[in-house]
Amino acid sequence: MAKRILAIETSCDETAVAVVEDGRKVISQVVLSSMDIFKEYGGVVPEIASRKHVEYIIPCLKEALKQAGMGFEDMDAVGVTYGPGLVGALLTGVSCAKAISMAAGLPLVPVNHIEGHVCANYLTHEELKPPFICLIISGGHSHIVKVEGYSSYKLIGRTRDDAVGEVFDKVARCLGLEYPGGPNVEKLAVEGKPVYEFPRALKGQKDFDFSFSGLKTAVINKLHNMEQAGESYNPADVASSFQKNVCNVLSENAIRACNYCDLPVLAICGGVSCNGAIRDRFVKECKKNGIKLYLPDKKWCTDNAAMIGSAAYYHFIEGKTAGLDLNAQPALKLC
């Protein structure tokens, strides 16, 4: 019998509910985003995001069940993101999931948001199974992990400072682009050429860590210096040069990690994996290096509840459920 998960995601600025079957098949999925509100502030304001989740969660839940043509009685469990993320935002989803669990008698399955991103690949690629190497590139995280099993991860590398999405957003802001910066930097970069050479952090490294804060500072300084000197420049060239540097670092480290682990299967995930230039670079480099590449469908790259439903399924069948004392864990780690 198919197992159905009602999944809830509220870790940042997207309120999302989905119904997912057997960890792979999305029956329905609804996302209400408060992102547009944050354009004015240049980033997420946690208090506003939390209040928006409270406003959106019930309509979102009703719509997801309506689209599925199902009720609580058709579900086997309720899965919810309990970290990492903004505490007030997470608490909205956790409280809602606990209420459903209690009222409908459904087991409660806590999910790590970062693990959800990894599982976005299961929604796209039916045949994908662990083990594989996964590069997680989101607004809050930049990790390389070895996916040893469903819900079993080994950390291979991580950013020592900023996450790659965070740097896209910061560079976008300095270029006068709106939040969220990543998609806007990508659009602008298409019109430019990578004429500027920004420094490559951790050059000659033996490990698999990332460092993006130096790159961020180099881009900001370059813009500042050119403006001070009254030099004319094409912002699209800056965007393109920055993006090329990111492509170099991400692909080099991920491919080295595959070789180091002797595991020529690589998946990427997280909001930044929407980026066309990054996707194209991985296609090219993986082909060159004999690595089988899995890219999630773009609609599952940014925050959504379907990926949480997939992760929850694998925990649920392993009996990893929680009690009603489940709390939000803003700094939760994957491994």
Binding residues for Zn ion, per CB under 5 A?
A: 138, 303
Q: How far is the CB of 308 from Zn ion (least distance, A)?
A: 10
Token representation of residue 94: 């956790």
Q: Could you say which of Zn ion, ligand KG4, none residue 186 binds, taking C-beta under 5 to 8 angstroms by partner kind?
A: ligand KG4
Mind spelling out the 3-state secondary structure of 172-237?
HHHCCCCCCHHHHHHHHHHCCCCCCCCCCCCCCCCCCCECCHHHHHHHHHHHHHHHHCCCCCCHHH
Q: How far is the CB of 202 from ligand KG4 (least distance, A)?
A: 21
Nearer to ligand KG4, 79 or 180 (CB): 180
| Site membership for ligand KG4, residue 140 (CB under 6 A) | yes
Nearer to ligand KG4, 76 or 186 (CB): 186
Length of the chain: 335
Among 303, 305, 307, 326, binds ligand KG4 (CB under 6 A): 303
| Site membership for ligand KG4, residue 84 (CB under 6 A) | no
C-alpha distances (whole Å) from 122 to each of 110, 151, 271, 276, 320 are 18, 13, 16, 20, 19
Site string for ligand KG4, 144-173 (x = CB under 6 A): ---------------------x--xx----
| CA neighbor of 316 nearest in space, from 78, 27, 24, 130 | 78
Give the C-alpha separation, 187 to 177, whole Å: 10
25 has which bridge partners? 21
| CA neighbor of 198 nearest in space, from 213, 176, 177, 209 | 213
Q: Could you say which of Zn ion, ligand KG4, none residue 169 binds, taking C-beta under 5 to 8 angstroms by partner kind?
A: ligand KG4
Give the C-alpha separation, 171 to 217, whole Å: 9
Q: How far is the CB of 5 from Zn ion (least distance, A)?
A: 18
Conformational region of residue 176, where left means phi above 0, alpha means psi within -120 to 50, and beta covers everything else: left
- Give the H/E segment covering residue 62: helix 46-68
Q: How far is the CB of 330 from ligand KG4 (least distance, A)?
A: 13
Q: How many residues bind ligand KG4 (CB under 6 A)?
A: 19
- Is-contact 326 101, C-beta < 8 A? no
Among 138, 151, 240, 251, binds ligand KG4 (CB under 6 A): 138
Give the C-alpha separation, 91 to 231, whole Å: 49
Q: Could you say which of Zn ion, ligand KG4, none residue 23 binds, taking C-beta under 5 to 8 angstroms by partner kind?
A: none
Q: How far is the CB of 290 from Zn ion (least distance, A)?
A: 30
- Is-contact 198 215, C-beta < 8 A? yes
Q: How far is the CB of 301 from Zn ion (least distance, A)?
A: 9
Q: How far is the CB of 276 from ligand KG4 (least distance, A)?
A: 7
Residues 170-199, interacting with ligand KG4 (CB under 6 A) = 180-183, 186
| CA neighbor of 46 nearest in space, from 22, 74, 13, 15 | 13
Q: Could you say which of Zn ion, ligand KG4, none residue 274 binds, taking C-beta under 5 to 8 angstroms by partner kind?
A: ligand KG4
Give the C-alpha separation, 293 to 281, whole Å: 11
Residues 7-46, interacting with ligand KG4 (CB under 6 A) = 12
Q: How far is the CB of 231 from ligand KG4 (least distance, A)?
A: 27
Nearer to ligand KG4, 138 or 151 (CB): 138
DSSP E strands, 235-333: 265-269, 292-294
Token representation of residue 122: 């299961």
Among 194, 270, 296, 309, binds ligand KG4 (CB under 6 A): 270
Q: List contacts with ligand KG4 (CB under 6 A).
A: 12, 138-140, 165, 168-169, 180-183, 186, 270-272, 274-275, 302-303
